[in-house]
Amino acid sequence: MNNLEALDEDPICERVAQNLQRLRGKRHLSLDALARQCGVSRAMLAQIESGRSVPSIKVLCKIAKGLKVSVAAFLEHRAFEGVAVLSASQSKRLVSANGAFVSRALFPFDVARQSEFYELRLSPLGEDQSEGHGPGVQENLVVSQGVLEISVNDERYLLSTGDSILFYADQPHRYRNPADSEAVAYLVVTYPERLD
């Protein structure tokens, strides 16, 4: 197998090429303008964008600095290019054993992510307990309907419609609906590192 065939089958080379094209296009830069901005030759940039050359870390750092992005931006895998519709009927749902707590994922499971977005529904007087997630995981929740009592390490916080809370979820926490009507909340879970 020659070098060109090997490069064509290299998913990292292809990902760097696609991301360089996307980042340069987003900034409306020509190859010449980017070459001046980052100190990498126009020919080298063209080879990287076409997937004919894999840049060294040093070259990638120069390009990243010129585009004002992290080196990681070149390795990012974009599963879609801007819009993904997730139908309510096909959303992933987690239901507690007694059916009082329903969590519906509002994000696609099949892409790498660092945060997750959920709709939570808690029936009247229902509750859900968590022993805690991995180190550094944070939860940010806003109540959209009803009231919720959130306990974090036995400290209780009563939230009404419109109230929000942010806390480290790597410790025991509990959601409880103290009212006689359903509570609805939206939750963003943020991980210290991206989940692949």
CATH number at residue 165: 2.60.120.10
Q: Does 50 map to a domain?
A: yes
pLDDT at 3: 42
Q: What is the pLDDT along the chain (196 residues), one digit of tens a residue?
A: 344 444 445 678 888 998 899 889 888 999 999 999 999 999 999 999 998 888 999 999 999 999 988 888 888 766 555 567 788 888 889 899 999 999 999 987 766 678 999 999 999 999 999 999 989 999 999 999 999 999 998 899 999 999 999 999 999 999 999 999 999 999 999 998 765 5
Q: Where are the alpha helices (DSSP H) in the chain?
A: 3-8, 11-26, 31-38, 42-49, 57-67
The last residue of one of the domains, among 74, 102, 117, is 74
Specify the pLDDT at position 1.
Answer: 39
> What range does the domain containing 145 cover?
93-190
Question: By the 8 A CB rule, do 51 and 13 touch?
Answer: yes
Beta strands in the chain (DSSP E): 93-95, 101-105, 113-122, 127-130, 138-145, 148-152, 155-159, 164-168, 173-176, 183-195
One domain, residues 44 and 126: no
Q: What is the pLDDT of residue 195?
A: 58
Indicate whether 85 belongs to any domain.
no
Give the CATH number, domain containing residue 55. Answer: 1.10.260.40
pLDDT, position 9: 57
**122: how many CB neighbours lie within 10 A of its CB?**
26
- Answer yes or no: is 4 within a domain: no
Q: Of all helices (H) and strands (E), which one includes residue 160?
A: none
Under 8 Å CB-to-CB from 151, ≥6 apart: which residues? 157, 173, 174, 176
166: its two tokens: 């942010």
Domain end (from 74, 102, 128): 74
Give yes or no: residues 102 and 46 share one domain: no
Q: Examine the domain organization and report whether 97 and 166 are in the same domain.
A: yes
Count of domains in the chain? 2
CB atoms within 10 A of CB 155: 9
98 and 181 housed in the same domain? yes
Strand partners of residue 113:
195
> Using alpha carbons only, what angle is made at residue 73 by residues 59 and 10, rounded to the nearest 5 degrees?
70
